[in-house]
A and B are shown apart, each in its own frame.
Chain A
Amino acid sequence: DIQMTQSPSTLSASVGDRVTITCRASQSISSWLAWYQQKPGKAPNLLIYDASSLESGVPSRFSGSRSGTEFTLTISSLQPDDFATYFCQQYNSYPVAFGQGTRLEIK
């Protein structure tokens, strides 16, 4: 099974900061990776798919990239609404697997 390792587990940042979250796959998953945002008590919300494609309606300050088996989610300028938990998902092969999540908190 493919393992997804996210870092950091928690990230403290301020409004306006540029932040990067990383997700590493235990083996090649090509670009079959998605990023989601989740707020407490709410359903996950799709941000990015196919590693770098922005979901319709998602602000352009969110972007994704890939380098081999390492994937990054970047928020270019944090807004108050962005403080949430983020997690990645691989859909290259079964079983579909998720990262453990990164909690983005206000510094």
Chain B
Amino acid sequence: QVQLVQSGAEVKKPGASVKVSCKASGYSFTTYAIHWVRQAPGQRLEWMGWINSGNGNTKYSQKFQGRVTFTRDTSASTAYMELSSLRSEDTAVYYCARDSRAIYYYASGSFLSWFNPWGQGTLVTVSS
């Protein structure tokens, strides 16, 4: 079945960077975009952006622009999210989620859709 499995919990100091992985299985990895979403304690889900798993193009939410980088390794069917200059407010569960439609569905390359499935989440704690 289609599945996204994320890397384990991380504890980082302020100012450091964190890299979370998201390994896909059960489908052709390069056929679907991957989105990243985070949820801080007591807060609503917050969309961070997406990566086109086929060509590596990315789109970042303005809030995270300049501080987040999405990459992918097609040979490993894995997407990565790296967040730098961490601060306490970045403490959150980070999720990857697959776009609902195959990349070829989109004429414009703009991945506006629902997400299915999601990874299990990765807790990132930023603390001195």
| Nearest Cβ on chain A to B71's Cβ, whole angstroms | 20
Q: Give the contacting residue for A46; candidates B95, B110, B116; CB below 8 A.
A: B116
Contact B47–A49 (Cβ < 8 Å)? no
Interface size class of chain A, counting residues whose CB lies under 8 Å from the partner chain: 20 to 34
Contact B116–A93 (Cβ < 8 Å)? no
Q: A94-B59, A95-B62 are in contact. Are A89 and B112 (CB under 8 A)?
A: no
| Nearest Cβ on chain B to A91's Cβ, whole angstroms | 5
Inside 8 A of B77's CB, which chain A residues have their CB? Answer: none
B17 interfacial contact with A, CB 8 Å: no
Q: Give the contacting residue for A42; candidates B61, B97, B116, B120; CB below 8 A.
A: B120
Inside 8 A of B110's CB, which chain A residues have their CB? Answer: 94
B113 interfacial contact with A, CB 8 Å: yes
Residues of chain B in range 1-53 having any CB-CB distance to chain A below 8 Å: 35, 37, 44-47
Inside 8 A of B113's CB, which chain A residues have their CB? Answer: 91
- Chain B contact residues, CB within 8 Å of chain A: 35, 37, 44-47, 59, 61-63, 95, 97, 100, 110, 112-121
- 7 additional A-B pairs beyond A46-B116, A96-B47, A98-B47, beta carbons within 8 Å, are A43-B95, A44-B118, A49-B114, A91-B114, A94-B61, A95-B47, A100-B44
- Chain A contact residues, CB within 8 Å of chain B: 32, 34, 42-46, 49, 55, 87, 89, 91-101
A-B contact pairs, 25 of them (CB 8 A): A34-B115, A43-B117, A43-B118, A43-B119, A43-B121, A44-B45, A44-B95, A44-B97, A44-B118, A46-B100, A46-B114, A46-B115, A46-B117, A49-B114, A89-B115, A91-B112, A91-B113, A92-B112, A93-B112, A94-B61, A94-B112, A95-B63, A96-B112, A98-B37, A101-B44
